Amino acid sequence: MCGIAGYFQLEGTRPPDKDLIVKMISLIRHRGPDEFGAFLDNKCVLGHARLSIIDLSTGQQPLCNEDETVWIAFNGEIFNYVELRPVLEGLGHRFRTHSDTEVIVHAYEQWDRECVQHFNGQFSFAIYDMNKRTLFIARDRMGKRPLFYTVQNGRFYFASEIKALFADHSIKRELDAEGLDQVFTWWTCAPPKTAFGGIAELESGSYMEISEIGISTARYWSMEYPDHYDDSRSVGSWAEEVHALLVDSIRLRLRADVPVGVYLSGGLDSSAIASLVRSFTSNPLESFSIVFGDSAFDESSNQRLMAKQLGTTHHQVQCNYEDIAACFPNVIWHTERPILRTAPAPMYLLSRLVNDAGFKVVLTGEGSDEIFGGYDIFKETKIRYFWSKNPNSRSRPLLLKRLYPTLPLSKVRFNYFLEEFYKEGLTETDRYYFSHIPRIKATSRIKDFYDADFKSKSAASDSMNAFAHMLPLRFAQWHHVSRAQFIEAKSLLSGYLLSSQGDRMAAANAVEGRYPFLDHRVIELATRIPPHYKLFGLKEKWVLKKAMHGALPEAILKRPKQPYMAPDSRCFTQKQAPGYVKELLSEEKVKEAGVFNPTMVGKLHEKCLRQSQGQMSFRDNMAFMGILSTQMLVDQFIEKFNEREIHRVTNFNVWRDFTTICNGHETTKN
Amino acid sequence: MEFEAGKIRSEIRAFIVDSYLLGDESVKFSDSDSFMSCGIMDSMGILELVAFLEQHFGVTVTDDEMLPTNLDSVESLVSFIRSKSNC
């Protein structure tokens, strides 16, 4: 993990703002506390905060090509750099370092924008091309590493995190009604939207070229499903290929000059990764897990089972209500958008545990559920699609009961209530978001709490269609479950699981997550596998389970999927709740923020306090979290941003200032 | 103990407005509107409603009685409470 930031002068040249780049990098120093560097000339400024993982001694950034006309600031990893280097050397490129960063520079020289097609990795970078007088920025296929930008003051600013953009105080800090409305519909914004007005996010799988002539954006990769599937292959044959490719994906993701650990949730995906690592490396393996004080969320017995079976050195962090409440302000400082659950908070505590144990890199299981069909939303889609063919059927909706065998309500006759919930939009099968209608409907109930003014501001948002511009041409021809998988990957995976709950929580503690299931070769293989081999009846991830058969304990393979969740509103309504809760939810603060209705928020808070030990309804829980996190966002990023103490970086190990040196570059340590 | 229909109706409506609409009186719902279809409450909200009925009206709601015909509108609640208190 690293952090990048900088700007490009859109018209003419101006002396660089050295103080600004120091401030920008200082605000994201948590992402890379090992070394800091900057490149400055009259057209472009690049800054870098480094977490040293590959080529510890010479991998400093910003870094350049042979004749120092192409400069890069890079966050992430190009895992196949070892294979790409000889190809580029064969084409005449000379290397000075052993880093993956330098591979990008030469690949850019060789293939221009299309260099990204050659990379297997997780990345966001900015390349300043002095010959073309352009800035080229790009992001990996699934959006594992973040990249934000804004065009103001005749400059194109970019950074790994929004807070670095706000280092320039002339950049307005205000909420974006449309961006927020998207969060309260989809759990995340659809790029380029963010929660802040005027601040944009580069979409995953896209790049952008910035020059005096203008700014052009293009999508270079997308998840694509076939219209028809190859039914001639057996599930066993697909499973074999999945296994082989996963092994190769993990092999590439173990490339590092520092030790690599694994997250163990106790579920199938992280267990599969840990077991594959174990099967072909003899290195000591260390694993990391969250233990919840609240047994409703705890999976520690399965975690210990796996750790024991694999013989890992196992680390655990205990997570109770008060731990979540205590770290919540930090969590929102890093998510930079409202969240509807507390689930990122334990991930923040987990990355802190990893950092404390002296680790910088962990392998983690994200993405498996999306590409192999693990989530209930895919089962719901299957049932709803089947039901929609005969909406008056009494027997078809009964399948819904099979989705929630463990729900506390299963004892009572709640079928009717379940049916009412899933009946929503049942006939709208041609909508691209058909699969997500029940979830969207449940999430959108937080909008009942909007203040009248905000309601009118957000009225024109059309958030339901926020992701429509990302759909591939043949989307409508795909299988209904494949369509659901695409939407889930573009929305919740990219914008929330890899971001708010992923990169941001890991980077906050200088930890880098690596995702073997999200190697694009694994994704592309998974898209070609027939849907019924992923979701066999209502059995999830069937082909993956086949691929892992024999390598994992039956208890792990056979256990029903337990979604990762954490206790929500009750963390903030206990007797010892931190003082900020009452303050942020006060009538005055809610009014100032201008998003929610202060009276309703007051009543909701009272209700949550009354029921702090009981079961809160989904709507109230989600509304409470959405409101509290929005209020926290306003407090930290709008009201008190300038009061925040910035720990300024003083030791820029690489400082290349082309405004004072005409020939060559100079490295100064100050 | 017998309850008067008008009183039950107004107490239930007050509870709905206070607990589910959180004081937002701009949301209009008739006595026969389904709580679930109008989005007034979700399935977890039904449990909350049952807790209120038991506490406020002193009735006991069995699992078998947790049916939409008993619980999903103001009207059905009024007759349900009256039938329970008559027993």
Q: What's the confidence (pLDDT) of residue A418?
A: 76
Q: Which of residues 238 through 267 in chain A touch B, CB cutoff 8 A?
A: none
pLDDT at A662 over 50: no
- The residue from A558, A593, A610 where one domain ends is A558
Q: What's the confidence (pLDDT) of residue B20?
A: 87
Residue A611 CA to residue A569 CA, distance in Å, equals 10
Contact A412 B39 (CB under 8 A): no
Contact A417 B24 (CB under 8 A): no
β-sheet with A260-263: strand ranges across: A313-319, A286-292, A260-263, A361-363, A512-514
Q: What's the confidence (pLDDT) of residue A411?
A: 42
Q: Which domain holds residue A577?
A: 569-639
The model's pLDDT over A348-400, given as tens digits with 9 standing for 90+, comes to 999 999 999 999 999 999 999 999 999 999 999 999 999 998 888 878 887 88
Which is nearest to A359 in space by CA: A368, A369, A371, A350?
A350
The model's pLDDT over A221-261, given as tens digits with 9 standing for 90+, comes to 999 999 999 889 999 999 999 999 999 999 999 999 999 99
Closest-approach residue (CA) in chain B for A616: B44
CA A448 to chain centre: 28
Q: What's the confidence (pLDDT) of residue A660?
A: 64
User: A562 is written with which tokens?
Assistant: 């337990």
Q: What's the confidence (pLDDT) of residue A360?
A: 96
Q: What's the confidence (pLDDT) of residue B1?
A: 53
pLDDT at A402 over 80: no
A599, A607, A617: residue with CB nearest B41: A617
Determine how β-strand A134-139 pairs with β-strand A215-219.
Answer: unpaired
pLDDT at A520 over 60: yes
Q: Is A409 on the interface with B (CB under 8 A)?
A: yes
Contact B44 A416 (CB under 8 A): no
Average pLDDT value for residue range B23-37: 86
Q: Is A607 on the interface with B (CB under 8 A)?
A: yes
Contact B42 A417 (CB under 8 A): yes
Same domain, A41 and A118: yes
B47, B64, B67: residue with CB nearest A416: B67
Q: How many CB atoms lie within 10 A of CB A664?
A: 8
From chain A, the residues in CB contact with B37 under 8 A are 420
Q: What's the confidence (pLDDT) of residue A409?
A: 46
From chain A, the residues in CB contact with B73 under 8 A are none
CATH for A279: 3.40.50.620
- The residue from A558, A581, A600 where one domain ends is A558
**A415 or B29, greater pLDDT:** B29
Average pLDDT value for residue range A265-284: 89
Torsion of CA A567, A570, A571, A573, to 10 degrees: 180
Same domain, A550 and A575: no
Distance from CA of A377 to the nearest CA of B (A): 18
Q: What's the confidence (pLDDT) of residue B2?
A: 59
Residue A110 CA to residue A93 CA, distance in Å, equals 9
pLDDT at A664 over 50: no
Residues A138-160: b if buried by 16+ CB within 10 A, e if exposed: bbbbbbbbbbbbbebeebbbbbb
Residue A141 CA to residue A221 CA, distance in Å, equals 6
Q: A340-343, long-range: CB within 8 Å, 24+ apart, which pairs? A: A340/A183, A340/A184, A340/A187, A340/A443, A340/A446, A340/A622, A340/A625, A340/A626, A340/A629, A341/A565, A341/A566, A341/A568, A341/A622, A341/A625, A342/A566, A342/A567, A342/A568, A342/A571, A342/A625, A343/A501, A343/A564, A343/A565, A343/A566
Contact A421 B42 (CB under 8 A): yes
Q: What's the confidence (pLDDT) of residue B42?
A: 72
Same domain, A47 and A141: yes
From chain A, the residues in CB contact with B24 under 8 A are 448, 597, 600
Q: What's the confidence (pLDDT) of residue A410?
A: 43
Q: What's the confidence (pLDDT) of residue A56?
A: 85
- The residue from A533, A558, A583 where one domain ends is A558
From chain B, the residues in CB contact with A619 under 8 A are 41-42, 44-45
| Residues whose CB is less than 8 angstroms from the CB of residue A147 and which lie 6 or more positions away in sequence, other chains included | A4, A124, A137, A139, A158, A159, A160, A201, A202
ipTM of the complex: 0.72
Same domain, A364 and A503: yes
CATH for A65: 3.60.20.10
Residue A58 CA to residue A667 CA, distance in Å, equals 13
* Inter-residue contact A184 to A132 (CB < 8 Å): no
| Residues whose CB is less than 8 angstroms from the CB of residue A218 and which lie 6 or more positions away in sequence, other chains included | A113, A206, A207, A208
Binding-site residues on chain B for chain A (CB distance < 8 A) = 18-19, 21-24, 27, 34, 36-37, 39, 41-48, 51, 63-64, 66-68, 72
Q: What's the confidence (pLDDT) of residue A649?
A: 92
Which is nearest to A98 in space by CA: A108, A85, A111?
A85
Q: Is A445 on the interface with B (CB under 8 A)?
A: yes
In chain A, the number of structural domains is 3
B19, B21, B43: residue with CB nearest A417: B43
Q: What's the confidence (pLDDT) of residue A471?
A: 98
Residue A592 CA to residue A633 CA, distance in Å, equals 13
Closest-approach residue (CA) in chain A for B67: A413
Amino acid identity of residue A306, one-letter, is M
The model's pLDDT over A13-58, given as tens digits with 9 standing for 90+, comes to 999 999 999 999 999 999 999 999 999 999 999 999 999 988 888 8
Same domain, A248 and A210: no
Q: Is A613 on the interface with B (CB under 8 A)?
A: no
Mean pLDDT estimate for chain A: 93
Residue A222 CA to residue A545 CA, distance in Å, equals 26
Contact B67 A619 (CB under 8 A): no
Distance from CA of B20 to the nearest CA of A (A): 9
A413, A607, A618: residue with CB nearest B63: A413
Distance from CA of A616 to the nearest CA of B (A): 7
The model's pLDDT over A450-498, given as tens digits with 9 standing for 90+, comes to 999 999 999 999 999 999 999 999 999 999 999 999 999 999 999 999 9
A603, A616, A619: residue with CB nearest B23: A603
Q: Model's pTM, two decimal places?
A: 0.93
CATH class of B5-86: mainly alpha
A412, A616, A617: residue with CB nearest B66: A412
Contact A600 B24 (CB under 8 A): yes
Q: Sorting pLDDT into bands at 50, 70 and 90, what band is A414? A: low
Average pLDDT value for residue range A505-533: 97
Contact A411 B63 (CB under 8 A): yes
Q: Which of A400, A401, A407, A414 is the mutation pick for testing B, counting most B CBs within 10 A?
A: A414
The model's pLDDT over A431-455, given as tens digits with 9 standing for 90+, comes to 999 999 999 998 999 999 999 999 9
From chain A, the residues in CB contact with B45 under 8 A are 617, 619
Contact A603 B43 (CB under 8 A): no
**A421 or A155, greater pLDDT:** A155
**B60 or A242, greater pLDDT:** A242
pLDDT at A412 over 70: no
Q: What's the confidence (pLDDT) of residue A666?
A: 44
Average pLDDT value for residue range A187-199: 98
The model's pLDDT over A287-308, given as tens digits with 9 standing for 90+, comes to 999 999 988 889 999 999 999 9
The model's pLDDT over A80-92, given as tens digits with 9 standing for 90+, comes to 999 999 999 999 9
Amino acid identity of residue B29, one-letter, is F
Q: What's the confidence (pLDDT) of residue B43?
A: 67
Q: Assess if residue A122 is contained within a domain.
A: yes
pLDDT at B36 over 90: no
The model's pLDDT over A549-592, given as tens digits with 9 standing for 90+, comes to 988 888 888 887 788 888 899 999 998 899 999 999 999 999 99
Q: What's the confidence (pLDDT) of residue B5?
A: 87
Same domain, A544 and A626: no
The model's pLDDT over A105-130, given as tens digits with 9 standing for 90+, comes to 999 999 999 999 999 999 999 999 99
* Inter-residue contact A64 to A48 (CB < 8 Å): no
Residue A85 CA to residue A98 CA, distance in Å, equals 9
Same domain, A583 and A627: yes
Q: Sorting pLDDT into bands at 50, 70 and 90, what band is A670? A: very low
Q: What's the confidence (pLDDT) of residue A663?
A: 39
Stated as kind and residue range, the H or E segment containing A100 is helix A100-111
Closest-approach residue (CA) in chain A for B38: A420
Same domain, A252 and A204: no
Contact A416 B18 (CB under 8 A): no
Contact A615 B67 (CB under 8 A): no
Stated as kind and residue range, the H or E segment containing A26 is helix A18-27
Q: What percent of chain A has pLDDT over 90?
A: 80
The model's pLDDT over A139-185, given as tens digits with 9 standing for 90+, comes to 999 999 999 999 999 999 999 999 999 999 999 999 999 999 999 99
